Structure 1
Amino acid sequence: MIASKALRPQPDRPRMCFVVGPIGDPYAAHGSPEREAYEHYLGIFEQVIAPACEKYEITAVRADGIAHAGDINEQICRHVIESDLVIADVSGGNPNVMYELGLRHITGKPTIHIGEAGQLPFDIASIRTIRYQRARSHLAGARREIESALEVGIQDGFELLTPARVLRGFQTDDGPLSSERSGDAEVATEDDSPGILDDFAAIEDGLDHMTADLDAMRKTVEAIGALTEQSTAEMIDLTQANAPASARLAAVARYADSLSAPAGEMNFIAGEFAERMTNLDSGVRAALSLVETTPPDERGVETEEFLVQLVALDKSAQAGLSQMGFLGASAERLVRVSRHLRKPVKDISLAAKRMTSAITCMGEWADKARSLAQGTTE
Structure 2
Amino acid sequence: MKCFVISPIGEEGSEIRKRADQVYKYIISPVCEECGFEAIRVDKVNQSDSITQTIIDYIKESELVIADITGHNPNAFYEMGYRASIGKPMIHLKEKSEKIPFDIAGIRAFDYELSDLDSVAEVKARLTKTIGTMSFELDDIENKKELQGQDIVRNDNTQLLSVLYEIQDEIAGLRSEIHNKDTETIQAIVKASVPAAPIEDPNMTMMKALLPELLKNPNSMKTLMELGKAVEKDKK
* TM bracket (short chain): 0.5 to 0.7
- Alignment equivalent of 1:129, drawn from 109, 117, 135: 109
List, as ranges, runs of 4+ consecutive aligned residues in structure 1 with deviation greater than 3 Å: none
2-side partners of 1:122 and 1:113: how far apart? 15
Q: For residue 3 of structure 2, what is the aligned residue in structure 1?
A: 17
- Deviation, 1:92, is 2.1
- Deviation, 1:89, is 0.3
Matched, 1:103 2:105: no
- Alignment equivalent of 2:23, drawn from 36, 40, 44: 44
Q: For residue 74 of structure 1, what is the aligned residue in structure 2?
A: 53
Q: Which ranges of structure 1 fall in alignment gaps of 5 or more residues?
A: 1-14, 29-34, 159-178, 184-378
- Deviation, 1:133, is 1.4
Q: Work out whether residues 91 and 121 of structure 1, in 8 Å CA contact, stay in contact via their aligned partners in 2.
A: no
1-side partners of 2:79 and 2:10: how far apart? 17
Q: Deviations over 1:40-95 (max 9, x none)?
A: 11000010011001001100011111122111111111111221110000112110
2-side partners of 1:123 and 1:99: how far apart? 13
Letter in 2 for 1:98: F
- Deviation, 1:98, is 0.4
2-side partners of 1:122 and 1:92: how far apart? 14
Q: For residue 217 of structure 1, what is the aligned residue in structure 2?
A: none
How many matched pairs? 139
TM-score, normalised to structure 1, is 0.35
SS at match of 1:87: strand
- Alignment equivalent of 2:32, drawn from 34, 53, 65: 53
1-side partners of 2:29 and 2:103: how far apart? 27
Q: Work out whether residues 16 and 83 of structure 1, in 8 Å CA contact, stay in contact via their aligned partners in 2.
A: yes
State how 1:143-182 maps to structure 2 within 5 Å.
143-154=124-135
Q: For residue 86 of structure 1, what is the aligned residue in structure 2?
A: 65
Q: For residue 44 of structure 2, what is the aligned residue in structure 1?
A: 65
Q: Work out whether residues 112 and 129 of structure 1, in 8 Å CA contact, stay in contact via their aligned partners in 2.
A: yes
Q: Deviations over 1:333-354 (max 9, x none)?
A: xxxxxxxxxxxxxxxxxxxxxx
Q: Which has the larger radius of gyration?
A: 2
Q: Work out whether residues 90 and 121 of structure 1, in 8 Å CA contact, stay in contact via their aligned partners in 2.
A: no
Q: For residue 140 of structure 1, what is the aligned residue in structure 2?
A: 121
State how 1:284-363 maps to structure 2 within 5 Å.
none
2-side partners of 1:125 and 1:49: how far apart? 23
Cα RMSD after superposing both structures: 2.1
Q: Deviations over 1:234-279 (max 9, x none)?
A: xxxxxxxxxxxxxxxxxxxxxxxxxxxxxxxxxxxxxxxxxxxxxx
SS at match of 1:115: strand
- Deviation, 1:145, is 0.9
Q: For residue 215 of structure 1, what is the aligned residue in structure 2?
A: none
Q: Deviations over 1:146-200 (max 9, x none)?
A: 111111114xx69xxxxxxxxxxxxxxxxxxxx99x96xxxxxxxxxxxxxxxxx
Q: Work out whether residues 92 and 121 of structure 1, in 8 Å CA contact, stay in contact via their aligned partners in 2.
A: no
- Deviation, 1:125, is 2.0
SS at match of 1:126: coil
Q: Deviations over 1:311-345 (max 9, x none)?
A: xxxxxxxxxxxxxxxxxxxxxxxxxxxxxxxxxxx
Q: Which has the higher helix share?
A: 1
State how 1:176-195 maps to structure 2 within 5 Å.
none
1-side partners of 2:111 and 2:64: how far apart? 19
SS at match of 1:25: coil
- Deviation, 1:121, is 2.5
Q: For residue 296 of structure 1, what is the aligned residue in structure 2?
A: none
